[in-house]
Structure 1
Amino acid sequence: MIEIRTLDDIGILSETVDLECKLAAGKDGRGQLPVDFWPTYSAFANTHGGVILLGIKEKQRRFALHGISEPQRIITALFNHLNNPQKVSVNLLTEQDVKVIVIDNRNLIQVRVPPALRRQKPVFLRGNPLKGNTFRRLHDGDRPCSEETVKRMLAEQVEDARDSRILQGFGMDDIDPDSLFAYRQMLRTEKPGHIWLDEDDAGLLRLLKGWRRDRQTGEKGLTLAGLLMFGKWDAIQDGAPHYFVDYQERPEAKTELRWTDRLVPDGSWSGNLFDFYRRVYRKLIADLRVPFSLKDGQRQDDTPVHEAIREALVNTLVHADYSGRVSVLIVKRPDLFGFRNPGNMRIPAELAIQGGESDCRNRLIHQMFLMIGLGERAGSGVPKIYSGWKSGNWRPPALYEKDEPEQTLLELRMLDLFPREVLEMLRIKFGSAFDGLGDLERLILSSATIEGFVSHPRLLEMSTDHPHDVTMSLQRLVKKELLFSSGHGRGTVYHIQGLKAATPDEVFSDGTVLDSLKNSGQSSEGLIAEGLDMPIIHKLADIKPELVAELEGLAESARKSRRLSKNEMTQTVIELCHGRYLTLKVLGELLGRSEDYLRLKVLNPLVGKKLLRRAFPATPNDPRQAYTSVSQM
């Protein structure tokens, strides 16, 4: 939660919090609710919430207080519009979410927009969720949602369980009998004598809701849950085209994507979720470094750490959005375990960590795991992961989301909060400046070293300090140049010079990532690079023909005409770079212009106006530079 107390707090807002600042002065200077308030309201509501400050002006890329002479006039207009369904689809605000702050005898209005619940999304404008009326917050801009994104929100809204859908044309021939036999054996071990064990395969699948009949329509058949949990690979590909599961064992604590062991659906095994779980869990716990423990004189082979890993794996599989374009990815490294699933969380991360609330995306799959003693009951899974990891005296797990494309990530690092070797390295690097720091500032630098970068929300997970104190500590470290920041709003991260930030050499190393995407059969819209927040396209030949055609269509007028107006060129470039990074070479090829002309006459001015941003801000003139649009025009 943002806390504004002084003018200094306003001066640092642009780099530390998730917020939008608007002047809201009106034509007469007395204050008026700005028209562009509503796209921001929609965007915050459809992502992670945020704060809108009215009465703030931007001067020389810094925020400054302007003030509003009649704040109640704006607040009245705000609630009138909020309760008008032709203006906005839902009112998320209460009186407690809107307050007037007085600083230096001037009024500032703070509007806290909470994230909408799943059943309230999409939050849209003008009575229609489509036609550019639904927005999401990406980086520091309000982006209109694509029709596909809006439809996914609508599906999430009405479908409590995404995996209960009956699949037309699928039957028992699409079920892998060995998988179902192995499941039966685990059920027998977990629940000896259970009445379901007397059923044949079709009966057992029916009781597990892997096969069901809709009582209203009479429709019956294999459910998505049954196919994903027990299906054969060729059938799964037909029923869930975006489904892909991937396990990678990497030899070093580095971001480069080399592996010594990998498991993906390749035709040699079923490829279903149940078999993926069984194979991957054995790999994850092999040679697991956990403290030796005894109970009643017996060595404990199943420790709280084992339980945390088991729960993390099940959690990843039951919460994944298998209609999303990101694969399920499990990574094992000497220093960490990583879990990624497509789709954002259905409840805020902080509520999931506290426990007690749950909104599982694939409830039938979850119940199938519960029947054999795997996974936790609703609302207790994530706390079990956190408590299990705490038993190893390691850093708290890192649970976070990415919005483009939507995905949820969990990192379990086997490192202390203050490893001795990290403190020594920092002491050597910063000398006496490090010795003079407090515990919170040392925690910040230690975390930035271990995790590559650190953010305000991540620090709140690791410390008991007040959010305002965390903010001020980050700013002091930046001012002393012990820490450097990049990004804006919720996307702001902090790193130590020389220890983080994506470089062209890291991204364009050897094509390993792109090759792996091609070989795995995933749709590749570009190179997914560590350190970059979106795919990067550096060769048109490396992406799908459909995407090439789309990009060429957007650039057609520029390519055919040498007399394109400045506004038309700006619009074309921003549309091309929306949702991805395009290199200078690719842009030159698409637009039919020289790279020097584009960089000097088009791209650099747009970066200066904050309409574009560079993938590698530290090396702006690198010939491998790439660009993405900050907002759509």
Structure 2
Amino acid sequence: MLEISTLEDITALKESSDVECKLAQGRDGKGALPNDMWETYSAFANTSGGYIFLGLKEKKNNRFELAGIANTQKVIDDLWNTLNNQNKVSSNIIRERWVKVIEIDGKSIIRIQVPPANRKQKPVYINGNPLTGTYKRLGSGDVKQTEEVIRRMLAEQVEQSRDAEILKGFGIDDLDFDSFNAYRNMYTSMQPDHPWTKVDAQEFLYNIGGWAKDRETGNSGLTRAGLLMFGKYRPIMEAFPHYMVDYQERPEAKTEARWIDRITPDGSWSGNVFDFYNKVIRKLTADLKIPFILKGDKRQDDTLVHKALREALVNTIVHADYSGRASVLVVKRPDMFGFRNPGNMRISIDEAMIGGNSDCRNRLLQDMFRFIGLGENAGSGLPKIFDGWKSQHWRKPLLKEKLEPSEQILLELHTLSLVPDHVLAELRDSLGEHIFDGLNDHERLILVTAHIEKTVDHARMMSVLDIHPRDLSALFSGLAEKKLIHQDGSGRGTVYFLDEARKHDNTLELVSSIMESDRPAVKGPDLSSGCLSVDSGYSPTLIETAKIISKKKKAPSDEVKSVIVKLCAEQPLRLEELELLLNRSGESLRKNYIQQLVRSKKLTLKYPTKPNHPQQAYITVGGKHDY
């Protein structure tokens, strides 16, 4: 939820892929829905959702200022009336709780939250015609969609599976029999006693979904799934003119398409998705470190990472929109694995990440892979991929949608470690190998983060660990009981740290106390006295830097933050010192700027394990005084 409550919040607001601001004053200046707001409504609904703010005036620098709406009730009534008028809007997907009046500085603005529409609601269009009134959000603009994109959205709306259609004019001769026989052998080896292993080839093809019968017309033939899975390249291209599968191994961690190994349909192999999977999975897993694990008397050359890569490759194939213009692309680089398929998500990214909800675009293809032990259709694919990456302490996988130059889904699996090897070695050495190796993954990650960042808090670890806040509190308590981590502060101000961090703060406190005895005391500021002079005891550099703000009564929030960061890069500064330098009240500085800078890791505390230290000061992260 995007919350704004102050003039500074409005100043910081920018239009983006999920934010749109409108003046909405109307002819009488009391408030009215702008006509072009409905294009934004359609765009947000057909993309990833967003927020519309009414009552904000755009300035020349693309920033906004508060204008307000005098008659908010009239505007909200017009909103609901239009949303429920199908001649204007095809579908109302907004709930009452998502429309809110916000009071700021004596004026009212309206925030409207537009959720992303689900597959069966798309396209959300305006003015009664989907072909002329369908928009998507691209950057900060609302882009009218082409007829091709809209017809694909309409097809997605009514079709449960895109690959069940019987292809007229295609038959058994369009299949690559080597591919089909290889698949059947894999099926038989997995399920030797299954009755399907005993039927003839065409009956087997029918049983797995590659052949179908139209009960109304009596016609039968190859399904889209059958041709994609086992077909020859030319017939596939005749049925799917934009069909392309592509694997590239790139030598460097760069986006440029320079490859040292490539697999594309070139006439030397069938070109179908079954053979593409078999060729590519061997390439993806060729360089993985294989653990030597015995199960019974057999070696198990498999890991969670192997399973994650298999799942990612199958997902890419079975969720692709083969009528789309983008290719199925798999990239292997030294630093990552990348997967791209044409088409957009049929459920939201958040739903897909949670798992348990499957809405596969090509369900028959999904079934065919599942019959030979590859992929799931219970919505557990993405969680399995994320678990594989988490097991190696690698960066969290990135799943995203792109609209340009055509609709596509991207999955990036980076192999850069969240946990440097030297940190693991240092913790094992300091805590004892037996103790550290006896911790679970979540406990280790808390200790590792505390070791790297000196302190952690509840909010920081919630951004790292995908668990319930109550479970995280239990983890902190358990580590504290084992004396592996310590805490200071209370409530939201509680920080957790290792022994080494507290020892560092104690040493720094001792050194600082000696240095402070030779430094003039700083008393509370007299803000009526204006800017500091050079005889105030502060360096000319500090005073000159601070003048950018101290001479002004009001300054943009970003400018104030920038100056604070520059000042604290020169030397650690206490809140009362920043008050004097900037000619601002300490409470305003703390609440509106410093807390945000600390949360965004631009400032750090001089004594991180003692947040309430009487001589607490702020230091710019990465500056010359960042220890």
Count, aligned residues = 444
Task: Report SS of the residue matched to 1:163.
Answer: coil
Which moves more between the two structures, 274-283 or 255-264? 255-264
Taking the TM superposition and a 5 Å limit, the aligned residue runs for 1:156-195 are: 156-195=156-195
Match of 1:64 in 2: 65
1:45 & 1:293 partners in 2: Cα distance? 49
Taking the TM superposition and a 5 Å limit, the aligned residue runs for 1:595-614 are: none
Match of 1:580 in 2: none
Taking the TM superposition and a 5 Å limit, the aligned residue runs for 1:180-579 are: 180-289=180-289, 300-404=300-404, 405-417=406-418, 419=420
**Aligned 8 A contact 1:291 1:392 in 2:** no
2:564 & 2:82 partners in 1: Cα distance? 42
Match of 2:6 in 1: 6
1:474 & 1:350 partners in 2: Cα distance? 35
**Aligned 8 A contact 1:328 1:340 in 2:** yes
1:464 & 1:58 partners in 2: Cα distance? 40
* Structure 1 alignment gaps of length 5 or more: 423-438, 444-458, 467-471, 483-633
Task: Report SS of the residue matched to 2:10.
Answer: helix
Q: CA deviation at 1:219?
A: 3.1
Match of 1:427 in 2: none
Specify the code of the residue in structure 1 equivalent to 2:245: V
Specify the code of the residue in structure 2 equivalent to 1:369: F
2:464 & 2:83 partners in 1: Cα distance? 33
Task: Report SS of the residue matched to 1:376.
Answer: coil
1:200 & 1:159 partners in 2: Cα distance? 30
Q: CA deviation at 1:11?
A: 1.7
Match of 2:619 in 1: none
1:331 & 1:479 partners in 2: Cα distance? 43
Specify the code of the residue in structure 2 equivalent to 1:412: L
Match of 1:153 in 2: 153
Match of 1:36 in 2: 36
Task: Report SS of the residue matched to 2:51.
Answer: strand
Specify the code of the residue in structure 2 equivalent to 1:242: H
Q: CA deviation at 1:476?
A: 5.9
1:178 & 1:420 partners in 2: Cα distance? 46
Task: Report SS of the residue matched to 1:164.
Answer: coil
1:479 & 1:143 partners in 2: Cα distance? 40
Change (3 A) 1:339 1:477: farther
Task: Report SS of the residue matched to 2:229.
Answer: helix
2:162 & 2:110 partners in 1: Cα distance? 40
Which one scores higher on RCO, CA 8 angstroms, separation ≥ 6?
1
Change (3 A) 1:460 1:341: farther
1:149 & 1:331 partners in 2: Cα distance? 26
Task: Report SS of the residue matched to 2:314.
Answer: helix
Q: CA deviation at 1:46?
A: 0.8
Match of 1:124 in 2: 125
Change (3 A) 1:350 1:56: same
Specify the code of the residue in structure 2 equivalent to 1:120: Q
Q: Give yes or no for the alignment of 1:101 onto 2:102.
A: yes
Change (3 A) 1:463 1:200: closer
What percentage of aligned pairs have identical amino acids?
59
Match of 1:620 in 2: none
**Aligned 8 A contact 2:171 2:222 in 1:** yes
Change (3 A) 1:340 1:206: same
Task: Report SS of the residue matched to 1:152.
Answer: helix
Q: CA deviation at 1:289?
A: 3.6
1:119 & 1:416 partners in 2: Cα distance? 40
Q: CA deviation at 1:215?
A: 1.7
2:372 & 2:37 partners in 1: Cα distance? 50
Match of 1:587 in 2: none
Change (3 A) 1:149 1:480: farther
Change (3 A) 1:257 1:82: same
2:149 & 2:464 partners in 1: Cα distance? 30
Specify the code of the residue in structure 2 equivalent to 1:178: D
Q: TM-score, normalised by structure 2?
A: 0.67
Change (3 A) 1:465 1:303: closer
Q: CA deviation at 1:300?
A: 3.9
Task: Report SS of the residue matched to 1:202.
Answer: helix
Specify the code of the residue in structure 1 equivalent to 2:354: Q
* Structure 2 alignment gaps of length 5 or more: 424-448, 454-461, 470-556, 569-627
Match of 1:112 in 2: 113
Change (3 A) 1:99 1:291: farther
2:110 & 2:143 partners in 1: Cα distance? 24
2:303 & 2:230 partners in 1: Cα distance? 29
Larger of the two Rg values belongs to structure: 2
**Aligned 8 A contact 1:2 1:17 in 2:** no
